[in-house]
Amino acid sequence: MKPTATKKDVQQVIRLIKAAGLRADVSSGRFQTVIGIVGDEKKINFDQIKSLTGVYDVNRIQVPYRLMSRSYISHDIVVKVGDVSIGGNEEPVIIAGPCSIESYEQMFRIAKKVKEAGCHILRGGAYKPRTSVHSFQGLGLDGLKHLHNVGKDLGIPTVSEVRSEFDVEMVAKYCDMLQIGARNMYNQDLIEAAAKQGKPILFKRGFSAQIDEYLSFAERIVANGNKKLVLCERGIMPLGGSFKSQTRFTLDLNAIPVLRKETPFPVIVDPSHGTGRKDLIIPMSRSSIAAGAHGLMIEVHDRPQEALSDANQALAPEDLTKIIMISKLIHQTIAQSEVPFSGDISNGASHDH
Ligand code: PEP
Ligand code: MN
């Protein structure tokens, strides 16, 4: 819309979009309102919209993730979880905690240590996605309550995975942020149910998903009216895992600047699952922040020998302190330099060899 467009002008455009059976996503900036069309835009007459008063221009965004593209929202989005801000030029946000919630005592012990280390958001899985039916499946609702109580007792916001659309209400009731895991990146019903409850969402990339595909599914969160979205690179592997690697997954560092360039939403990295090895978590954390990640999610356990899941990748709380310190330094150095993180880098990529 033109900067001079009135509310009535905006309403008229929305009416036309709705009359075509589509939905309108209204983004009101300080100087200008942009209206996004949600649905099949072939049903709409672009010339007719363009002729309405107050309309500045009508554009077709080529990428499938239109509401998330930089051409729709150019400024970086900052997502708030409790009083923690993720994204933009904010300092790196650290999410840490055990892979699984095992008891109130275990959660409290670890939470106290990660908080002292400087962690901002507490993680812990209650509904665990597990390959084997014989492994620990998580404490479910009891686990959520432990996480909630520990978060409240220590004054730290919490995040936990929601594995099915039937658990959305419970996880939203007890946590400040909902995590959708790599295995559920394609789960449309879960994504939509999670988006609609309105709390921030940590949306992990599927391990065999192309970035376009990943963003197309993330678009469903935004299209359902939830812009409190944080993206997460957590390592990839070829479909079927057909080559032998020394690491559990391959952390795709390329994805960080690509995602930052394509979308204004915050991007964090999970080097714990991305490597599966505790000895690689410090170097990959450093690299992720240097590549422009807005934060990290790290699995921490103070007694890995007792951990009920992912013991091999559980970092000691002392190492988390080191990661937080170095992350701040790297972030400050880059922020003070003339070299931008992303976004405004011209698209000069060449594929010549
Ligand atoms: C997790 O963070 O607990 C987890 C299971 O991660 P992912 O979905 O990336 O495997
Ligand atoms: Mn884990």
Give the DSSP per-residue string, 153-181: HHT--EEEE--SGGGHHHHHHH-SEEEE-
pLDDT, position 116 = 98
- Pocket test residue of 161, 232, 299 for ligand 1, highest count of atoms within 8 A of CB: 161
Please name the CATH architecture into which domain 76-352 falls. Answer: Alpha-Beta Barrel (3.20)
Q: Which two tokens mark 323?
A: 């990661």
Work out the pLDDT band at 341, boundaries 50, 70, 90: low
> What are the start and end residues of each CATH 3.30.70.1140 domain in the chain?
7-60
- Work out the average pLDDT over 60-82: 92
For residue 53, the 8-state DSSP code is T
234 lines ligand 1 (CB under 6 A): yes
Q: How far is ligand 1, taken at its centre, from the CA of residue 328, in Å?
A: 25
7-60: in CATH 3.30.70.1140: yes
> What percent of the chain clears pLDDT 90, i.e. is strictly above it?
86
Q: Report residue 5's pLDDT band, with 50, 70 and 90 as the boundaries.
A: very high
pLDDT of residue 8: 97
Neighbours of ion ligand 2 (CB under 5 A): 99, 310
Which residue spans of the chain are classified as CATH 3.20.20.70? Answer: 76-352
Q: What is the pLDDT of residue 137?
A: 93
By most ligand atoms within 8 Å of CB, the mutation choice from 270, 299, 301, 309 for ligand 1 is 270
Residue 280 pLDDT level (bands cut at 50, 70, 90): very high
| Average confidence (pLDDT) over 164-178 | 97
For residues 294 and 296, give the distance between their C-alpha atoms in angstroms, rounded to a whole number.
Answer: 7
Beta bridge partners of 190: none
Q: Which atom of ligand 1 is found nearest the CA of 129? A: 5
CA-proximal residue: ligand 1, atom 3 (nearest): 99
Nearest-CA residue for ligand 1 atom 10 is 182
On whether the CB atoms of residues 299 and 99 are closer than 8 A, the answer is yes
Q: Report the mean per-residue pLDDT for the chain.
A: 93
